[in-house]
């Protein structure tokens, strides 16, 4: 599965943004807290190869879900399109122990509150990232090998409809957090 995704800094007036989202038909589907522990590899530097490996903890109300996620290098110059593989796991401490036994090391933890909207086949998220700021992400999943241009058009059209024409951000929260 390929995740075609474009992120932008959120405008200051987020209430107005939410109203615009509702106006174009986006449906609020949930709110969750995410805690991502990122690992780097012993045999290559993910900061150089533009890959990511993380353990994600998702809390929604009383339920907690755990995932391993791998992200490959970004595949074009404008979006964050990349290979993404995510799999549910039963215990995050054991996965961290396995990663560290394999000489992968934890490098940073990203914590955020995420509100999720659906609009047709797009997922739109509003993120409040601790220590980094507020962002909008619009994402569409396509099959490997499928053309990304159509998805990108749809994403940028939607950004335009909610009044966001600039402030796009290709760097990950991890990269933004690590800036001096």
70 is catalytic: no
Smaller CB distance to a second copy: residue 18 or 95? Answer: 95
> Quick one: tokens of 137?
């992400």
- Give the HSE-up count for residue 127: Cα atoms under 13 Å, Cβ half-sphere: 22
Smaller CB distance to a second copy: residue 8 or 95? Answer: 95
By CB under 8 A, is residue 102 in contact with a second copy?
yes
By CB under 8 A, is residue 72 in contact with a second copy?
yes
Cα 142 to Cα 75: distance, rounded to the nearest angstrom: 13
> Quick one: tokens of 82?
């990349």
> Quick one: tokens of 170?
């290709």
Smaller CB distance to a second copy: residue 11 or 72? Answer: 72
Among 103, 130, 157, 160, binds a second copy (CB under 8 A): 103
Cα 132 to Cα 122: distance, rounded to the nearest angstrom: 24
Which listed range, 83-91, 106-114, 126-134, 165-173, lies at the site for a second copy (CB under 8 A)?
Answer: 83-91
Tell me whether residue 50 is exposed, middle or buried, using C-beta atoms within 10 angstroms of its C-beta: 0 to 12, 13 to 18, 19 or more. middle
By CB under 8 A, is residue 63 in contact with a second copy?
no
Cα 7 to Cα 171: distance, rounded to the nearest angstrom: 9
Residues 89/67, Cβ–Cβ less than 8 Å:
yes
Among 15, 43, 143, 179, binds a second copy (CB under 8 A): 43
Which listed range, 8-16, 19-27, 43-51, 149-157, lies at the site for a second copy (CB under 8 A)?
Answer: 43-51
Which listed range, 25-33, 89-97, 122-130, 167-175, lies at the site for a second copy (CB under 8 A)?
Answer: 89-97
Query: By the criterion CB under 8 A, which residues form the site for a second copy?
Result: 41-44, 51, 53, 68, 70, 72, 83, 85-91, 94-95, 97-98, 101-103
């Amino acid at each position: 599965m390929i995740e075609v995704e474009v992120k932008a800094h959120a405008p200051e007036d987020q209430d107005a943004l939410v109203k615009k989202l509702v106006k174009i038909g986006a449906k609020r589907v949930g709110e969750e807290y995410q805690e991502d522990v990122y690992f780097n590899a012993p045999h290559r530097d993910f900061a150089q190869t533009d890959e990511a490996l993380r353990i994600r903890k998702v809390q929604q109300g009383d339920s907690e879900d755990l995932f391993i996620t791998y992200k490959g290098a970004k595949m074009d110059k404008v979006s964050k399109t990349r290979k993404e593989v995510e799999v549910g796991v039963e215990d995050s401490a054991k996965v961290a122990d396995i990663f560290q036994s394999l000489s992968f090391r934890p490098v940073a933890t990203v914590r955020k509150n995420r509100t999720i909207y659906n609009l047709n086949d797009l997922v739109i998220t509003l993120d409040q990232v601790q220590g980094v700021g507020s962002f909008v992400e619009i994402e569409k999943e396509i099959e490997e090998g499928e053309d990304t241009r159509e998805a990108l058009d749809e994403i940028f059209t939607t950004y335009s409809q909610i009044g966001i024409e600039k402030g796009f951000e290709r760097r990950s929260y991890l990269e933004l957090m690590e800036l001096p």
